[in-house]
Amino acid sequence: MLRDELIAARERYLSPSLGTTSLYAGNPLILSHGQGQYVFDESGKRFLDCTGQNMCVSLGFAHPVTMAMVSEQMHRLQHATTLFYNEQSVCYARELVAHLPVREDGEDWVVQLSNSGAEAIDLAYMMARAHTGHYEMVALRNAYHGLQFGAAGSTSFNTNRFASPGMQGFVHAMHPDQYKGSFGAVLEPYLLELKRLIAASTSGRIAGMIIEPIQGSGGVVPMPPGYMEGAFRIIRDAGGVCISDEVQTGFGRLGSAYWGFVDHGVLPDIIVLGKGMGNGFPIAGVVCRRSVAESFARMKFFNTYAGNPVACAAARSVLKVIDDEGLQTHARLCGERLLAGLMRLKARHELIGDVRGKGLILGIELVRDRVTREPAVEEGTRVQARLREAGFILVRGSPTRNTFRINPPLCISFDDADALLDAFDQALAAG
C-alpha cells in the first residue's frame, strides 16, 4: 500500500478512538519491518526503536532464537486451550519459576497465564480478593496498570477516565515521587499518608495493594528505597496481599535485577508480568504464592487463549536468550552509560529538569523552569520531531507528556547509546 492510501484506510476502517494513541500526530510513522534494535519505515529509513514497541520487543526484532522456537511450535501445534495439557505452557511455567527468588516461607510459586497485562492485573485483583475475603484495593496515584475493568479502576490518569463511575473498590495513595511529589524527596510522609488513606477511605481491612517498582507510563518515577518495604508492611497489617506490577520492570530490563521488587528487598505475594515476556507475542500472566492461587481455585477461571503454545514458545525464547546472551548485565552497562551521558546533557541544557531510572528504563523530564518545574510540553514535541528526523523513536510518558522514555530492546549497542546521546544533544541545542 502507498503511504497516503494506508493512512486513509486506517482512518476509514480502524476506530477513531485509536487516534488518541498514535505517535507523531499528523505525520504518522509507518513501520515496515524490524531487525534487532531497529525498525524501518516504508521508505527504508532506519530508526533506533527506543520504545521497544512499548517494551514488548525485549530481545530485538527477528531474533533468530524466537523465530526458530516459534516457527517450530507453529508447525507442531498452533493452539491448545487450557482444557488440555501441553508441554509448552508447563515447561514455560517451570523455567519462569526458576527465575524467581526462592521463597523462605515454605510456599512455592505457581503461574497462571493470560493474553495481556491488563487481564493479568484483573486476575491478580480477583486472586487478592478471593484470598483475603476483602474487597478494597490500594493503588498509587500516577500508576498505569492497563485499561480494562479493574485494571482501569487502578490506573490513575484522568486521560484514561470517563466522567462516570468506573470500577469500584480502588483508593489511590500519594505516589512517593522524589522529584515533584507533594511531600518532596522524603519517604516517611508518603508511608504515613498510606496509613491515613486506609484508615479514612477504606473499611480498614483491604484486599491488597499494587505497586510498579518504577512507574513507567507515569513518567519513569522510581519507588524510593524503603517505600515498597514500608508499604508492604502496612498492607499486610491491614490484611492485604502485596502485588508487584512487573509488566515493565521484569525480565532483566533494570539490569540490577531480573525483577524490580528484588532491588527493594521485598517478596510480593503476587507478581504481574507482561510486555517483554513474549518478545512481542501476546502473553502475560501472574506468578503467585500457591496458597493465594488455591483460594482462587474454588472458582472456575478460564480464558480461551491463555497459555497458547506458540506464545509460550516465544516466552521461553525470552528466558533463554536473556540468560545465554547476558542481556541483563548488558542492560545494566548500557543503562549506566546512558544515564552518565544524560547527566552530562543535563549539565549543559537547562531544559532538562531531571534524569532518572535504571537499566533500560530511563526518563528525561523537560521543564521550562528548574524551580517551578513547569512541564516543557511544546519544547518536547519539537525535540521528539528532531529525534525522529535523526532516526530515533522515543515516546513521552507522564500525564503531562514532558518525560522522554528510553526503553529500547535489550540488545541496543554502546554505539547506539552514544548516537542517541549525540542526537539528544543536538535536538536540545536546536531549542
Ligand X SMILES: Cc1ncc(COP(=O)(O)O)c(C=O)c1O
Contact call for residue 245 and ligand X (CB under 6 A): yes
Q: Give one DSSP letter per residue of 380-396, joined into a string.
A: HHHHHHHHHHTTEE-EE
Q: Which stretch binds ligand X (CB under 6 A): 77-85, 142-150, 331-339, 353-361?
A: 142-150
274 binds ligand X (CB under 6 A): yes
In the block, residue with C-alpha cell 491491614: 238
**Beta bridge partners of residue 112, listed in sequence order:** 286
Size of the site for ligand X (CB under 6 A): 15
Binding status of residue 216 toward ligand X by CB under 6 A: yes
Residues 264, 255: Cα–Cα separation, whole Å: 14
Locus of grid cell 477504606 = 202
Among 217, 402, 403, 407, binds ligand X (CB under 6 A): 217
**Element containing residue 357 per DSSP (H, E):** strand 352-358
Of the pair 48, 121, the CB lying nearest ligand X is at: 121
Query: Which among 78-86, 105-113, 212-220, 300-308 is the span making contact with ligand X, rule CB under 6 A?
Result: 212-220
Centre a 10 Å sphere on the Cβ of residue 43 and count the other Cβ atoms it contains: 8
Task: Examine residue 248 and tell whether it contacts ligand X (CB under 6 A).
Answer: yes
Nearest distance from C-beta of residue 143 to ligand X, angstroms = 8
The answer to whether 118 contacts ligand X (rule: CB under 6 A) is: yes
CB nearer to ligand X: pick between 144 and 170: 144
Q: Which of 117, 276, 285, 357 binds ligand X (CB under 6 A)?
A: 117
In three-state form (DSSP H/G/I as H, E/B as E, the rest C), the secondary structure along 208-227 is EEEECCEECCCCCEECCCCH
CA distance 100 to 149: 28
Say what angle helices 227-237 and 188-201 make with each other, to 10 degrees.
20
Report the residue number, 136 or 212, with the smaller CB distance to ligand X. 212
For residues 177 and 186, give the distance between their C-alpha atoms in angstroms, rounded to a whole number: 9
Q: How many CB atoms lie within 10 A of CB 306?
A: 22
Burial string for 346-366 (b: 16+ CB within 10 Å, else e) reads: beebebbbbbbbbbbbbbbbb
Task: Output the smallest distance, CB 101 to ligand X, in A.
Answer: 20
Cβ 154 to ligand X shortest distance, Å? 9
| Residues 22, 28 contacting (CB under 8 angstroms) | yes
Residue sitting closest to ligand X (CB): 117
- Using the contact rule CB under 6 A, the part of the chain among 100-108, 116-124, 172-180, 259-267 near ligand X is 116-124
Q: Is 121 in the site for ligand X (CB under 6 A)?
A: yes
Question: Quick one: 216 or 335, whose CB is closer to ligand X?
Answer: 216
Query: Which residues sit at the interface with ligand X, rule CB under 6 A?
Result: 116-118, 121, 144-146, 212, 216-217, 245, 247-248, 274, 284
